Every structure is written in C-alpha cells, then in structure tokens.
Structure 1
Amino acid sequence: MKSQSNRYGTVAITIHWLSALLICALLASGFRAAGLTDGDAKIGILSAHVPMGITILALTLVRIAWWVFADSKPASPKGDPIWQSLSAKAVHLLFYVVILGMAASGIGMLALSGAGAIILGAAAGDLPNFHDYAPRIPHGIGARAIVGLLVLHVGAALYHHFIKRDGLIWRMWYGSRADGDAK
C-alpha cells in the first residue's frame, strides 16, 4: 500500500489515476459548459461537473494527508539534473495549489450565484450568468493552468519513457513492471 524508495504504493497510484481521469473529465465538461448558451444543456453538464469537482477536492485533500501523515514519496530518479527534480516538485506543488484554488473558486461561484441548488436539482430555475461573479475569473485561469501543468507532467513522463528509457513511468503503475527498472 505504501510507497517504496523506487516506486509509488497502491494508494498513491490509485489516487493519481483516479484524479487524472476526473481532472480530464472536469476540463472537458467545464470547457464545454462554458461554451454553451442552452441553459438546460449547461445544467446537464454542470450537474456532473460539480460532483466531480467535489470528488477531486476530496481526493486532493486525501492525497495531501496521505503524503503528510502516512507515506513518503519515492526518491528522485538517479542521474537527473537538479533542475529536473526541482521542476517536477514545482509542477506537483502547483497541481495542488491550482486544484485547491479551482475548488475554492467553483464553490465560490455556486455560493455567490445561488446556482448550486439548480445544478444539483434541488430547485428549478435558470442559471445565472457566471461571468457576473468574481470567482469565474480565477476558475477560468485555473482551468488553463491545469491544462499547462498536464502538458508539462505528461510531457516529462513521455520524455522519461521514450527518450531516456529509464522506466520511470512504471513507478506510477501497478504490477511487476512498477519496479522503476527499464524493461
């Protein structure tokens, strides 16, 4: 369950991949909802988007608690320049900051606009114009920041896998190839 010096444990791996899938779904649904003018279609998308966002918030808080109280991350790959190790740590930290900021701004938009009850089906009505609420700006910036961080994160993983061929990608997967050794 816990991580080892050369690989992540099953708890960290599960949280990572579940978060990755949900974040991709959140980005797709959020960008789609932002482009819609049909209120009913927008409510339909946001009725999935909001619970997924709350789930990502919970997973992120569990992940932070896991790293602080229960587990330690594997060591940085041997032979990597210090700038790569620091860049990886910065990208991971920025993921946490942006995800928490996205959750706060999303909750802020729902609270200020009163749209939460409509989106979650507890009340009928039309959605407000979210652009009229200040948390919309950091929410939109955060979505674009997450896309940039994903490009950096996935790009680094692919660089290690296809260029360096160091087996690093297997540290974040289940099974026998997850030993961090190139195979």
Structure 2
Amino acid sequence: MPARSTGNRYGAVPIAIHWITALALLGLLLSGFRAAGMVDDVAKAGILRIHTAVGVAVLALTLARILWWVAVDRKPPYPTSLPRWQKAASSAVHGLLYLAILLMAGSGIAMMALSGAADIVWGAGAGPLPDFTRYPPRAGHGLGAMLLIALTLAHVGAALYHQFVLRDRLLARMGLGRS
C-alpha cells in the first residue's frame, strides 16, 4: 500500500495515524474517567503518568495528521453517490474531532501546569495530588471528553451504517477490507 492516498483509498500513513490515534483515544478516555474517580494519589499519579504521555502522543499525531493533509497528501474525494448533506456532516464531524482533540490536549496541559501536578505525576515533586476541579481547565477537559465521545459515536455510527446498511464498503477506504 502506498504511503499517500489514491483516488479511492487513504494511504498507509493516514491509515496508521487514524487507527493508532483511535486506539490511544479509547485508552485516554478510559484512563481519564478511571483517574477522575480515584482517591489513592499514588495509584492516580501512576494512571496520570500514562494518561499524560499518551495524551501528548495523540497531540503530536494529530498535528502530524493535519500537517500531512496540508503539505503532503490529499484526502480521497467523497464517493459521488454520497448526498451533499452527508458530505457536510462528515466534514463537520471530522473537523470537530480534530478541534476536540486539540482542545483536550490544551486543557490537559494547562491543568497539569496550573495545578502543579506535573511535578508530582512525573516524580520531581512529592505530596498529594491537587483537587483538579479547582482549576478552570478541568471543566473544559471533562466537557471535551463528553464531546469527544459523542463525535466518536457519530463517526463510528456513520461508518457502520455505510458498511452494513448501505453496503458501499466505505470502510475499505480506511484499510478495512477491499475497495
């Protein structure tokens, strides 16, 4: 499979970035909700250490994906059979997913910096973790997680609708099956 996209299929680079990011986001959501409910600071710091590292990796992958589309490759055009409203909805959901990821990364970084938790999580400091709810980026981070879940469900729902209801094999464009 070529690195760059073709007229009807995404290339190896965007496919790899997509699926790695998708799996990492699932892990981030699970670990974030798990950490939010923990009271044991040592265990919570351990989860946050992984959560923050993966979060920074997702930020880097997202920026790389944006740069890839701007400077290196072009997305395959939508199938001609796709109604205009579905093209618009797809573009909106994809754009909002990028925006949500960037806002989640920004609010996470801001929360760690403002609260001083980075020193505790990464081992340079000692003491209990701060109450993250006292810092304004925490509210945005929580709302961003809910937005990310809603957008992901819309994205996955649309993909499954195309695959199993319309049977147009749209998932093959993203490396799942033959086109």
TM-score, length of structure 1 as denominator length: 0.94
- Matched with 2:31 is 29
Where 1:127 maps in the other structure, the secondary structure is: coil
Instruction: String of CA shifts for 1:121-168, please: whole Å, max 9, x gaps.
Output: 222221000000000011000000000011000000100100010110
Q: Which amino acid aligns with 1:90?
A: A
Identity of aligned residues (%): 53
Moved segments of 4+, more than 2 Å: none
Stretches of structure 1 that go unaligned for 5 or more consecutive residues are: none
1:24-103 matches, within 5 Å, as 24-103=26-105
Equivalent position of 1:110 in the other structure:
112
Task: Identify the range of structure 1 (118-127 vs 139-148) with the bigger mean alpha-carbon deviation.
Answer: 118-127
**What residue ranges of structure 2 are gaps of 5+ in the alignment?**
none
Pairing 1:10-25 to 2, within 5 Å after superposition: 10-25=12-27
- 3-state DSSP of counterpart to 2:136: coil
Shift of 1:40: 1.4
Match of 1:138 among 124, 130, 140: 140
Q: CA RMSD in A?
A: 0.9
TM-score using structure 2 length: 0.96
* Residues in 2 aligned to 1:36 and 1:76: alpha-carbon distance in whole angstroms: 44
- Deviation string 1:60-85 (CA, Å, 9 cap, x unpaired) is 00000000000000111221111101
**d(CA) in 1 for partners of 2:168, 2:80:** 10
Deviations 1:61-113 (A, max 9, x none): 00000000000001112211111011000000001111000011001001100
SS in 2 for 1:125: coil
Match among 164, 167, 177 for residue 166 of structure 2: 164
